Chains A and B, each alone.
Chain A
Amino acid sequence: MPKITIDSTEIEVEKGTTVIQAAEQIGIDIPRYCYHPGLSIVGVCRICLVEIERMPKLQVACYTPVADGMVVHTNNEKVQQARRAVLEFLLINHPLDCPVCDQAGECWLQNFYMQHGLYDSKMVEDKVKKQKALPIGPNVMLDSERCILCTRCVRFCDEITETHELGIFNRGDHTELLPYPGQELDNKYSGNTIDICPVGALTDKDFRFRTRVWYLTETPSVCPGCSTGCNINVHHNDHRPYKAGGIRVSRLKPRYNPDVNQWWMCDEGRYGFTQVDADSRIVAPQKKTRGDWQLLSWQDAIDEIATKIKGILKKHGADAFGVILSPQMTNEGLFAAKRFFQETLEVENIDFEVVAREKGYADDFLMKADKNPNSEGAKKIGLSAVDNSGLEVAQMLADAKDNRLKALYICHHNLEKGFKKEEVKEALSKVDLVIFQGTNQNSTSNLANYCLPSASFVEKDGTFTNFAGRVQEIHKAVEPLGESKPDWTIFRNLSKRLGKSMPYFEAGDVFNALAEEVDAFKGLSYEKIGEHGVLLNGHRASTEKEMGALVA
């Protein structure tokens, strides 16, 4: 392995490592615009120039592989001068519109100018004019004047999505990034171009002018949009939600996970968080009285529901009780439900799977047809009908229609996605007690007798198990809306009211209990999951499998 010296620190690195990567390993952050570890290396921006002893010219750190004995200076006078020069060149035709630019605060031109620039501009000429505020796709706005032509977005569309919407046209200082005339930047992953744009050239239609980035807080999480489980950061506006009309979650950004999504996420997941702050949120327990919803306190809700459940079980037995859990729930919610329904109530009719009538979009990259984040977890915890020799969802609805089912506890599902509207309506109308537990109202919740408010994925801690058996953590970014609570808390409280308490105080307690009881989770602990997740027993770390075509 070659040994090299970077700013007087000696380091041994793998052969083939580039100078910029080697420097990263010892915590030296060489500025970069065009370099992105997920894309081909082009060396065009020139901001990463470093001095390498015995080489006459400065070299770009992104492209230069280490060689044994190499001595690199990343911050001497010569390098600083070159950086200042590159910054000055990048800025001569860059508009000074930071006050109205959404990138302000996370702009690498601003940041590097403060770190490496700080010169007095000598540019007094007219700047080159290019196109501004150009909508180039459903999600992306382009300001061509702000573009520094790093070509990251072009390479993303050429190399990752292979959709080739963007090009670099003309030449010299009239070179311009634009979509192919007549074509939109409308691929399933277009939002990533905004993430990797180091400046304000590509901005997010969904985020523009909503909030300044310095008011945002980041919380690591996992996208609940499908079974891939892309790692994300939730950007939430804790400081000035009143400026955003009460919208607490401003945006989702992909978070690097080498084994799952690398640097990317799909647009469906990225923009799929709006239900979190939607008007349809269920914010308090409620019951339907003569067709009208009436709010209840948690205590009253739990009391009434417990009493009714007890009555039905006593009168009709456990076979008259159906439970439809959801792969939208965390492992913790599912496990607490399992304990509550199986152990406390001794109910066997438990299922979670409602096969969508409309097949979800899937590709060989990140998007899976299963639009639930925890189907694998639900299976492994043993919540399929077959595991409990109980009824499947379809059978439950059929039984309900035939008056054989007296109580139905439905979590999160909109049953109309799997069954015909009239079928669901008819079946549920014949059940004495329908309890809906979920985050948002839907056509199923409207048919229930009781609605219990669940905390959404940004309002709780917990874990999802992705399609490949990787257990990954979500974290509470914002407080549960209204009276909503994590699913596992609701089941714990119900269970206690019905005579069996569960000693869980936080999500980790539930997970650790789950790890003790369920084979696939044996040996795992909440503390050990870490930022990139861990694999269930029997699941091999198989990047190829998890990454699909990305690796190719």
Chain B
Amino acid sequence: MEFCKAAKTECDKIIAKYPEKRAAMLPVLYLAEKEFGHISPEVEKYVGKLLDVPPVKVHEVMTFYTLIAAKPRGKYHFQICRGLSCDLKGCVKIIDYLSEKLGLSSDETSDDLMYTFTPVECLAACETAPMMQLNEDYYGNLTKEKIDDILKENS
């Protein structure tokens, strides 16, 4: 379990930016997620070794933050907001609708690794409530019709 040459170079570049190796924890975990798909226990240990940090401290980080995948996630990761502004604008119906369309319940990934469905807390785009994040992008002012369109585009 090791980075390919390019990733290792990238990793060294990241580490060099910080006054302490350990500070590169999140960026190196993101890099590892990109390289390996998710952070398995082996990757955790590898990252610990790269940063001179006991693996238990990498595991603490992995279980504390929500964004870096510890398990394989779908090609399309739907993070749908259930924060207050979205709730006021009826996100519950949209969440239920999306859940039903995907056939997935909270934090579930489809067996074909196409979709992951995660209701999340406020994504800081309340002006477009109800909204969600699909992979890198935000989608706002969601309606059932809009969900249908998005699903059509991403399948």
Contact residues of A with B, CB < 8 Å? Answer: 164-171, 179-183
Contacts and interface: CB of A to CB of B under 8 A. Distances in A.
B57 A169 contact: no
A146 B150 CA distance: 47
Output the residue of A171, A179, A180, A183 with the most chain B CB within 10 A.
A180
Contacts of A170: 63-64
Interface residues of B, number: 9
B56 A180 contact: yes
Given A181-B41, A182-B41, A167 B64 contact: no
Given A165-B56, A169-B63, A169-B64, 13 more contacts: A164-B54, A164-B57, A166-B56, A168-B60, A170-B64, A179-B56, A180-B54, A180-B55, A180-B59, A181-B41, A181-B59, A182-B41, A183-B55
A182 B41 CA distance: 9
Contacts of B56: 164-167, 179-180, 183
Contacts of A181: 41, 59
Contacts of B64: 169-171
Contacts of B57: 164, 167
Contacts of B55: 180, 183
A164 B52 CA distance: 13
Nearest to A181: B41
A169 B41 CA distance: 14
B66 to A, nearest CB: 9
Nearest to A169: B63
Contacts of B59: 167, 169, 180-181
Interface string B34-74: 00000001000000000000111101100110000000000
A170 B63 CA distance: 5
Output the residue of A165, A166, A181 with the most chain B CB within 10 A.
A181
A183 B57 CA distance: 13
28 contacts: A164-B54, A164-B56, A164-B57, A165-B56, A166-B56, A167-B56, A167-B57, A167-B59, A167-B60, A168-B60, A169-B59, A169-B60, A169-B63, A169-B64, A170-B63, A170-B64, A171-B63, A171-B64, A179-B56, A180-B54, A180-B55, A180-B56, A180-B59, A181-B41, A181-B59, A182-B41, A183-B55, A183-B56
A166 B54 CA distance: 10
A211 B64 CA distance: 39
Contacts of A180: 54-56, 59
A165 B63 CA distance: 16
A177 to B, nearest CB: 11
A230 to B, nearest CB: 27
A168 B60 CA distance: 6
Contacts of B60: 167-169
Output the residue of A164, A167, A170, A182 with the most chain B CB within 10 A.
A167
Nearest to A162: B54
Nearest to A176: B63
A110 B54 CA distance: 35
Interface in B73-101: none
B120 to A, nearest CB: 15
Interface string B20-46: 000000000000000000000100000
B49 to A, nearest CB: 13
Nearest to A183: B56
Contacts of A168: 60
B137 to A, nearest CB: 27
A166 B60 CA distance: 10
Interface string B102-126: 0000000000000000000000000
Contacts of A183: 55-56
Contacts of A169: 59-60, 63-64
A469 B141 CA distance: 79
